[in-house]
């Protein structure tokens, strides 16, 4: 099983790993990784592997059973099984994903409707809502979203058991994808604390430490996607 270093510290930019093997598709299996593996609407991380004077660009990262596979961007020499590599994260891209992911959690607070889907990007992200009618005042939504960001709320995590999640179905906002269970526990991401807590939901992705780190955003577009489904896109402005 691959140790998920990004879950222990989302700000870790470099780390060593042992190469466990190669997949049939050309991925590199490692025993520990700072690279987030594609899932939950968040893209897999990219970056580089360094070993013995060699440098291999990584295009994306995927789950491979209980392990994580780093997918090379080019058909170059692979690090040997049993060897050690230095992982270097494309931090600018990852950090934008972290900012956007937290912004989308805040969007689900500003628009308190069931979420039917979502996707995170480095420039834009979106949530799909079960929303029969579009919002009347887009500027008010923009203002509310940025006001939450400006409150500089802490973003923290805790863990609950599978049974506790099943007993509290209101924690799950996303209708289309259920949080992963079967490992005995589920990670909760919380925004705010104590009486100032504004959101708490299951999530396996990476987030910024405080909402002010997101920076200014704008609601870029609202599109109708089906009879009751509307897609709300958010853009990072810096």
Label residue 238 by pLDDT band (50, 70, 90). Answer: confident
3-state secondary structure (DSSP) of residue 31: coil
Question: Which residues is 39 bridged to in the sheet?
Answer: 42
- What tens digit of pLDDT does each residue of 106-153 get? 999 999 999 999 999 999 999 999 998 888 889 999 999 999 999 999
**Region 198-212: what's the mean pLDDT?**
95
- What tens digit of pLDDT does each residue of 156-204 get? 998 878 777 777 777 677 755 556 655 678 889 999 999 999 999 999 9
pLDDT at 186: 84
pLDDT at 9: 96
DSSP count for the chain of H helices, then E strands = 4, 15
Burial letters 191-218, b for 16+ CB under 10 A, else e = bbeeeeebbbbbbbbbbbebbeebeebb
- Collect all residues with Cβ–Cβ distance below 8 Å to 117 and sequence separation of at least 6: 41, 127, 128, 174, 176, 177
| Cβ atoms 197, 191 nearer than 8 A | yes
3-state secondary structure (DSSP) of residue 41: coil
Dihedral, CA atoms, 73, 26, 77, 60, nearest 10 degrees? 30
CA distance 238 to 188: 28
Specify the pTM. Answer: 0.93
What percent of the chain clears pLDDT 70, i.e. is strictly above it? 95
pLDDT at 163: 79
| Cβ atoms 191, 211 nearer than 8 A | yes
Whether the predicted pLDDT of 77 surpasses 60:
yes
CA distance 138 to 107: 12
CA distance 71 to 84: 17
- Collect all residues with Cβ–Cβ distance below 8 Å to 12 and sequence separation of at least 6: 5, 6, 34, 89
Taking only Cα atoms into account, the Rg of the chain, rounded to an integer number of angstroms, comes to 19
């Amino acid at each position: 099983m691959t140790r998920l270093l990004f879950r222990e510290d989302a700000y870790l930019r470099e780390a060593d790993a042992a190469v466990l093997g190669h997949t049939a598709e050309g991925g590199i299996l490692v025993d520990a990784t700072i690279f987030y593996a594609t899932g939950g609407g968040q893209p897999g991380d990219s970056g580089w592997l360094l070993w013995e004077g060699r440098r291999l660009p990584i295009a994306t990262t995927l789950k491979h059973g209980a392990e994580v596979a780093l997918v090379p961007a080019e058909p170059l020499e692979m690090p040997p099984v049993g060897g050690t590599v230095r992982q270097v994260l494309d931090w600018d891209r990852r950090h934008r994903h972290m900012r956007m992911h937290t912004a989308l959690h805040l969007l689900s607070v500003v628009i308190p409707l069931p979420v039917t889907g979502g996707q995170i990007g480095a420039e834009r992200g979106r949530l799909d809502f079960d929303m029969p009618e579009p919002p009347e005042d887009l500027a008010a939504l923009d203002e509310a979203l940025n006001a939450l960001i400006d409150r500089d709320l802490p973003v923290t995590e805790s863990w609950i058991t599978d049974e506790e999640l099943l007993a509290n179905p209101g924690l799950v906002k996303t209708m289309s994808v259920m949080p992963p269970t079967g490992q005995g526990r589920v990670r909760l991401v919380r925004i705010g604390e104590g009486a100032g807590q504004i959101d708490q939901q299951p999530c396996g992705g990476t987030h910024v430490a405080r909402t002010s780190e997101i920076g200014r955003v704008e609601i870029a577009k609202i599109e109708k996607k089906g009879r009751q489904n509307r897609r709300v896109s958010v853009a990072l402005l810096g």
